[in-house]
Chain A
Amino acid sequence: MKSYEQSLLFHFKHAWFNIKEQFSDIPTSLAANALVPFFVWVLSRVWERFNSHLGHYQLHEIVVYIGITELLFMTFVRLPSLNRASSDFSISLVRPRSWLAMSFSGLVGRSTGSRLFMFIILIFTLPLLGAKPELVISALLRLIILLPWLGLIQGMFSLLFANSQVLWHQTNYFILPFGKIFLVMGGVWGPVSDFSEPWKSIILKMPPSDIFFQPAYFCIKGKFYQMSFNEWWIRTSILIVVLFLINQIFFFYAKKNHQSFGG
């Protein structure tokens, strides 16, 4: 029992180190995130031109919505984090700690650190882009509530890719289209509720909508779109369990078939 607690404490510390690491070189982190306000501006203008007539939202709400979806998406499945997670696979096989748990805590930590950094940028930039300060504050406070849970989902997806990279070696080219599926179906460019039928109904049933559109909608409206909090929580819990199981299976085969360089 004691070793279980120690292990848990170790992984929390590992995640905390990765969170702090994102703040260790502020100019580089600023440069990496400098495009976020620009994308918020462009995408909110695209929405205004093509979808504002639908009347579901107002421009100042969309600015906050896109800010939040960009925050969640830009820190979702990132290649440098995956490479780092899968790079020490060989050596981890002879270490006492689980590679899965170690990679997971690292991935969640890095993503949470980036999200907090971007969060601070958005506090200052969203009002300049036309969002009402009171909406920015209430929406970002709601986001804080959801971030730990969303971090778990993000960590599971990233771990799946890190596992795949060890199992099949050449998976980099598929990260881009995978990201695009989540970009489009998650409603990162604009709310899924503004999509035309039948796509709207189909996309709302998919996991990307649960992890990007629904949280962002919750942040600006205070409720989920056409579902209760419990329903959203159950859907995302099932997603986490499924990803956990797939990760276990992938890890089993990655370990079984692994050949280090020179093997």
Chain B
Amino acid sequence: MNSMKLLFLSLRYHFDSQKSNPMNLIAGTLGMIINNLIVLWGLWAMLFNNKPNGESLTVYFLALNAMITIAWGSLLFFLGGFRSLGEYIEEGSLEPMLSTPRHPLLLVGISQSSTPALGDIIQGFLNIAVLCFMRQWEIASKTLIFSFFSAMGFLSLFILAGSFAFFLKRGNALSQLFIECNLSLSFYPTGKIFTDFGKFLIMLTPAAFTGLLPITAIEYASLENVLNASIGSILFFSLACLIFNLGVKKFQSSQSLALRN
């Protein structure tokens, strides 16, 4: 209960700080919306518009884009600190978070909020509105539901990738690369690009939980696909937390490292 109170307090604090500089909030949000619209238009013109191989996939791509932008944007806007976990570990900012009675991951999550991420969320809902306009009510509602699973996937990805910094030199740089790779694999319609073996390879990456499994559940909505997406996201989240906990046990404070040097 106290944790929930803390979460709401931090959200209010971040929102107040963003509200205090409205020009910054508007510029960041508008910049991201324009950025996303250009990307969406570019991919549509290149891959789908008047293309016999792609035209039928317009709805699929709109749903995928909506799911990824809502999931990614919500996570970065409400719990943006997770993206910087690797940086916190390398720079020692995690230390004070480990010494409080609250769970360090909660403190990591609420420590930041990304302003431009609001643009991602708005973009995602614009896509949902377009799907509704195209009378794709079922796809639109399923996209909203499975955005949550995709967000769980991104949350696990941030924790897993950030934890690299516990074990590796330049772990933060590697974690950012890992996140970017998986974002790309989630963002492009990999489910429609790759065939059996390619799909199998994607299933071995976190992009399976952030993109492929949820979008497959949106497309087919069979019990099997819904179970795959939900059990997959729970297992991936458990794995990420396990790796983080192992890292915390191994973690040495920067002060003790300095003393040793």
Contact = CB atoms under 8 A, between A and B. Distances in A.
A interacts with B: yes
A49 B181 contact: no
Interface string B46-69: 111111111000000000000000
Nearest to B176: A31
B258 interface: no
A192 to B, nearest CB: 9
A179 to B, nearest CB: 8
19 contacts: A31-B173, A31-B177, A38-B184, A42-B184, A45-B194, A46-B188, A48-B193, A50-B47, A50-B53, A51-B47, A53-B53, A170-B27, A177-B31, A177-B32, A180-B38, A184-B41, A185-B42, A189-B43, A194-B46
Contacts of B12: none
Contacts of A190: 46
B188 A42 contact: yes
B174 to A, nearest CB: 7
B19 interface: no
Nearest to B192: A49
B91 interface: no
A45 B42 contact: no
Given A34-B177, A170-B23, A177-B34, A49 B193 contact: yes
B168 to A, nearest CB: 11
Contacts of A46: 47, 188, 193
A194 B50 CA distance: 11
Interface residues of A, number: 33
A39 B45 contact: no
Contacts of A177: 31-32, 34-35, 38
Given A50-B54, A53-B52, A183-B39, 11 more contacts: A42-B184, A46-B47, A50-B48, A50-B53, A53-B53, A170-B27, A176-B35, A176-B116, A180-B38, A184-B41, A199-B45
B31 A189 contact: no
Contacts of B51: 50-51, 196
Interface residues of B, number: 38
B185 interface: yes
Interface of A: 27-28, 31-32, 34-35, 38-39, 42, 45-46, 48-51, 53, 170, 173-174, 176-177, 180-181, 183-185, 189-190, 194-197, 199
A188 to B, nearest CB: 9
Contact of B185 (A42, A51, A170): A42
Nearest to B42: A184
A112 B52 CA distance: 40
Chain A interface mostly: helix
Contacts of A196: 45, 49-51
B205 to A, nearest CB: 11
B170 interface: yes
B138 interface: no
Contacts of B54: 50
Contacts of A197: 50
A47 B153 CA distance: 27
Contact of A49 (B35, B39, B53): B53
B104 interface: no
A181 B34 CA distance: 10
B29 to A, nearest CB: 9
Given A31-B173, A35-B180, A183 B42 contact: yes
A201 to B, nearest CB: 12
Interface in B133-179: 170, 173-174, 177
A195 B170 contact: no
A173 B177 contact: no
Contact of B174 (A31, A42, A183, A199): A31
Interface string B188-205: 100011100010000000
Q: Please give me the 3 A-B residue pairs with the lowest Cβ-Cβ distance, nearest first.
A: A184-B42, A173-B31, A196-B50
